[in-house]
Amino acid sequence: MSVVSAPVLANAQVQVFDAVRALAFVGDLSMGQPIDQSARSAWLAVQLAAALGLDASLQANAAYVALLRWSGCTANASEVAEVIGDDVGGRQAMLAVGLPAHLSGRLIPAAQIHCEVSGDVARTLGLPPQIERALRRIFEKLDGSGQPNALAGAEVPVEVLLAQVASDLEIQSRVHDLEHALAGLAARAGRHYPAAWLPVLRRHAADWLHTLESEPACIDAPAQLPLPTAPLELIADVIDLKLPWLTGYSRRVAEAARAAALRLDLSEAQAQRIYRAALIHGMGRAAVPNEIWNRPGPRSEAALERLRLVPYWTARAARRIGSLSEEADIASQADERLDGSGFFRGASGDAIGIEGRVLAAAAQWLLWQTNRPGQPGLDVAEASLRLRDEAQRGRFDARVVAALTGAPAPSPAPVDPAGPLSAREIEVLRRISHGESNKEAARALGISPSTVRAHLENIFRKLDCTTRAAATLKALTMGLL
């Protein structure tokens, strides 16, 4: 087994459209929806825009807005859970039957987080400014009753209105029926979207929905924009935002797994596949409510069953992206164990390839080192000892474990003095990004809560954001955390 240090490889790049689809799948899972909800809505938004005589550019923008409509859902999952409990099931019910009026105002901070992160995702992907602007206003309504800023009229982009109508039509017709969906749209005509759209919807909705059912492949090729590639790391960062204590986790797993692969003398192509698979291995996490993830102590059988389905949802979602089909299979093996005690397949022995073995060991090793609610993380030595013990019990590949644990622990990247944030500001943001309150961060850093607030104000100003989730995402994409 080689012990040379792993060379630095280029960031994992995917086509922007594939990145958008991956984010759409994560958003759908976060909202308790089928993993094609956003894609179906995007197709409907294009049909409506075309029937209204809107130009091709606006049709394409509307499709991307509909695909990314839920891309901020992981970022505000904690805030949503505080208001409605089950962030996944509650959102599913909200889309099907509506949100109780007494809860609406309490979700404004969550809407602010969602819109800011969605807009930053669009900017990071290099999407046109019209798409970014629309995503920053995705919950606004024509009559000013939306969130978070109660914008109205021309302040609400037409792409937002198209995405809202398309999503409402798709969900209500699927959960109830077309008649119910059209009745709901009629009740909102003139308030949430132009009344002139209603006759068009009544004329075409049945045919559009029939096409979706009879030709499901129609949703796989919405209007694409001539864009360059995007970093797959962005997908990992958005996935990890769901649980603050997992901030940066997928990146750490990817780096550790790639380094171990190269120490095992696997090819660079294999190492890169493992790296990419590690970045997306948490996609299915979005389908499980935060209350289950955050609950300390033993979990109920029902909760465990939902957790066992995480790699299943990862496989379902990632496999839909052609350029990630190989990585999807590897990613779905993250919770498998050599003795057959893992999930979701319960695979064992030779049924788990070397790439899956590397990912599974790296993911568990780094998870044991992660602080989680009610359970402090182990240090590197303790986690390594535990992993080696598990290998002796036949659950992990001993050779893979040796490649992981025999390497020195990675050191944090040095702070660039010319970077946008000072060393102290990065320390504060690192604490805050992992879910600590101002008081907790102040206690850990030996400073006052007011000093933490002052640092946060500077961080927000320097990173051009207003929420902690957005600051975390920007810092991760800039390599500051």
Give the contacts of 330 (CB within 8 A, at least 6 positions apart): 273, 274, 277, 353, 355, 356, 359
Output the pLDDT for position 472. 94
Strand partners, 13: 231
Whether residue 443 is predicted with pLDDT greater than 80 in this model: the reply is yes
Give the mean pLDDT of 199-222: 90
> What type of residue is 156?
V
- Choose the weakest-confidence range: 5-14, 43-52, 62-71, 436-445: 5-14
Res. 417 pLDDT band, cuts 50 70 90: low
- Choose the weakest-confidence range: 2-16, 105-119, 260-274: 2-16
The DSSP element (H or E) to which 62 belongs, if any, is helix 56-67
Whether residue 121 is predicted with pLDDT greater than 70 in this model: the reply is yes
Backbone angles phi, psi at 189, to 5 degrees: -60, 135
Report the largest interatomic distance among the alpha carbons of the chain, rounded to a whole angstrom: 69
Give the mean pLDDT of 143-164: 96
For residues 142 and 156, the answer to whether their CB atoms sit within 8 Å is: yes
Res. 103 pLDDT band, cuts 50 70 90: confident
- Return the CATH number of the domain spanning residue range 423-477: 1.10.10.10
Q: Which residue has the tokens 């604490």?
A: 431
Q: Is the CATH number 1.10.3210.10 carried by domain 231-405?
A: yes
Give the mean pLDDT of 89-95: 94
Domain locations along the chain: 37-215, 231-405, 423-477
Average pLDDT, the chain: 92
Same fold, 37-215 and 231-405: yes
**Token output for 282:** 């948490």
Give the contacts of 159 (CB within 8 A, at least 6 positions apart): 58, 61, 62, 65, 130, 131, 134
**3 state SS of 314:** helix
Q: pLDDT tens digits, residue range 41-83? A: 999 999 999 999 999 999 999 999 999 999 999 999 999 999 9
Distance separating alpha carbons of residues 135 and 132, to the nearest angstrom: 5
DSSP alpha helix (H) spans, 77-214 = 77-84, 87-97, 101-104, 108-125, 129-135, 158-175, 178-188, 197-214
Whether residue 149 is predicted with pLDDT greater than 90 in this model: the reply is yes
Fold of domain 37-215: Hypothetical protein af1432 (1.10.3210)
Closest CA to 19 of 249, 255, 252, 318: 318
Res. 1 pLDDT band, cuts 50 70 90: very low
